[in-house]
Amino acid sequence: MFNVLSAYAGDPILSMQLAYRDDARPEKTNLSIGLYYDDQGRIPRLNSVQQARERVLRSTDPSMYLPMSGNPAYCKASQVLVFGADAPALHEGRIATIQTVGGSGALKVGADVLRKFFPGSQARISDPSWDNHRAILEGAGFVVETYPYFNRDTQRLDFDRMVADLKALQQETVVLFHPSCHNPTGADLSQAQWDQVVDIVVSRRLIAFLDMAYQGFGDGLDDDAYLVRALVRANASFLVANSYSKTFSLYGERCGSLSMVCANADEAGRALGQMQQAVRRNYSSPPAFGASLVETVLNDAELAALWRSELAEMRTRIQTMRSRLYEGLCVQQPDVDWAFLMAQKGMFGYAPVLAQHMMRLRNEHAVYIIESGRICVAGLNDANVDRVAHAFAAVLK
């Protein structure tokens, strides 16, 4: 019966984790997967989240199903974080938000809803983008093409070509944007550049689908959400997926949310209903525990302040490691212009120049990066950054 099933090639990033785990060299360094590590090379347990966990575990309530749309207090807190507490659209009731199974679940539910009501639309993702964007959108039935984003020669954003391409898209094309900390390139748009994109989205009637998986890892919680806020100001109708996996260090709890920003409250009511139906058909309702942790932190002034300071610490550590890597590379390879690294934001550094050396980095230096040349800067620390700079220089010689 099932011999018709073809083999799944697996996810190359996840497969690499197994090779890394089995590598016996003590100096091994994992810069492949998008995880935030602390200076000791550990996945942190945030104090704010720990305190919330203690409170939640004290509860003797039974574990009941959540509604299809998830924990209401969590959805409200997510709206405030994503859109800002004083967003008029929130008070007008025209934003519908559900709790989702991580950021990935938000992308899937959003893609299902869009596909159902815009069956003639194509989808566009940046070139390059997080691999799962294509997989999720195609899985929902979309034909997926790319828009120009990154120039591999200059190692920087290719804004002019991006804009020209967006201007030529058919109305109601679904366009996926990374509001900040672009994965994999770390090359972000400036606020003035986002303003131009917003004008195009509105005038061309494109359907913007924002994937915000790293809010607060770039310049800060509000700055990183600039595109969200600008689209709201422009009265656009759009979607936002967000994720707490990295910012709360809660990878396994699968916490995210999906919001649909609508023209009015009546439309938002129907958007909520359609998201609920998509959830019901996929997994019925989201898990409760992780959302209760996030909600407890965000809805308690003291814990929220503590979390913001822990987030700022993670952001600063990434920036420091980026500078240290840059300085190390400038010393080792003074004839290469590494300035592009410093122009990038968030967890990733993108150095296509290293892509072809991936296997040598792994075999000769125990440094793991992925095929595209993406480096997880958050995997660097005081103990390994100089050695990594040396390894990069050695393979590039």
Q: How far is the CB of 231 from ligand PMP (least distance, A)?
A: 18
Q: Identify the residue whose tokens are 């290719």.
A: 158
Burial class (CB within 10 angstroms; exposed 0-12, middle 13-18, buried 19+) of 226:
buried
Contacts of ligand PMP in 142-201 (CB under 6 A)? 178, 183
Contacts of ligand PMP in 251-290 (CB under 6 A)? 256
Query: Which amino acids are annotated catalytic?
Result: 130, 211, 246
Which position among 68, 189, 197, 213 is part of the footprint of ligand PMP (CB under 6 A)?
A: 213
239 vs 111: CA distance, rounded Å: 10
Return the bridge partners of 257, or none.
Answer: 99, 242
Which position among 70, 102, 218, 328 is part of the footprint of ligand PMP (CB under 6 A)?
A: 102
Kindly state whether residue 130 participates in binding ligand PMP, applying the rule CB under 6 A.
Answer: yes
269 vs 298: CA distance, rounded Å: 25
Which position among 99, 104, 121, 257 is part of the footprint of ligand PMP (CB under 6 A)?
A: 104
Burial class (CB within 10 angstroms; exposed 0-12, middle 13-18, buried 19+) of 320:
middle
Which position among 112, 158, 188, 211 is part of the footprint of ligand PMP (CB under 6 A)?
A: 211
Q: How far is the CB of 220 from ligand PMP (least distance, A)?
A: 18
Kindly state whether residue 346 participates in binding ligand PMP, applying the rule CB under 6 A.
Answer: no
Choices 101-109, 193-201, 294-302, 315-323; region in contact with ligand PMP by CB under 6 A: 101-109
Closest to ligand PMP by CB, 213 vs 391, is 213
Kindly state whether residue 110 participates in binding ligand PMP, applying the rule CB under 6 A.
Answer: no
CB within 8 A of 381, min separation 6: which ones?
Answer: 37, 38, 39, 40, 41, 321
Q: How far is the CB of 102 from ligand PMP (least distance, A)?
A: 3
What's the one-letter identity of residue 119? P
Closest to ligand PMP by CB, 326 vs 348, is 348
Biggest alpha carbon distance in the chain? 64
Q: How far is the CB of 135 from ligand PMP (least distance, A)?
A: 11
Closest to ligand PMP by CB, 258 vs 268, is 258
120 vs 171: CA distance, rounded Å: 10
- For residues 321 and 385, is the Cβ–Cβ distance under 8 A? yes
What's the one-letter identity of residue 115? R
For residue 388, give both structure tokens.
Answer: 């990594």
Interface with ligand PMP (CB under 6 A), residue total: 12
Strands (E), 213-327: 238-243, 255-261
CB within 8 A of 342, min separation 6: which ones?
Answer: 322, 323, 326
Which position among 69, 97, 155, 243 is part of the footprint of ligand PMP (CB under 6 A)?
A: 243
CB within 8 A of 203, min separation 6: which ones?
Answer: none
Closest to ligand PMP by CB, 338 vs 348, is 348
Comparing C-alpha atoms, which of 393, 288, 310, 219 is closest to residue 36? 310
Kindly state whether residue 34 participates in binding ligand PMP, applying the rule CB under 6 A.
Answer: yes
Q: How far is the CB of 33 from ligand PMP (least distance, A)?
A: 8
Closest to ligand PMP by CB, 213 vs 366, is 213
Q: How far is the CB of 23 from ligand PMP (least distance, A)?
A: 22
Contacts of ligand PMP in 280-339 (CB under 6 A)? none
What's the one-letter identity of residue 99? Q
Closest to ligand PMP by CB, 70 vs 103, is 103
For residue 307, give both structure tokens.
Answer: 């979390």
Kindly state whether residue 77 participates in binding ligand PMP, applying the rule CB under 6 A.
Answer: no
Per CB under 6 A, residues contacting ligand PMP are 34, 102-104, 130, 178, 183, 211, 213, 243, 245, 256
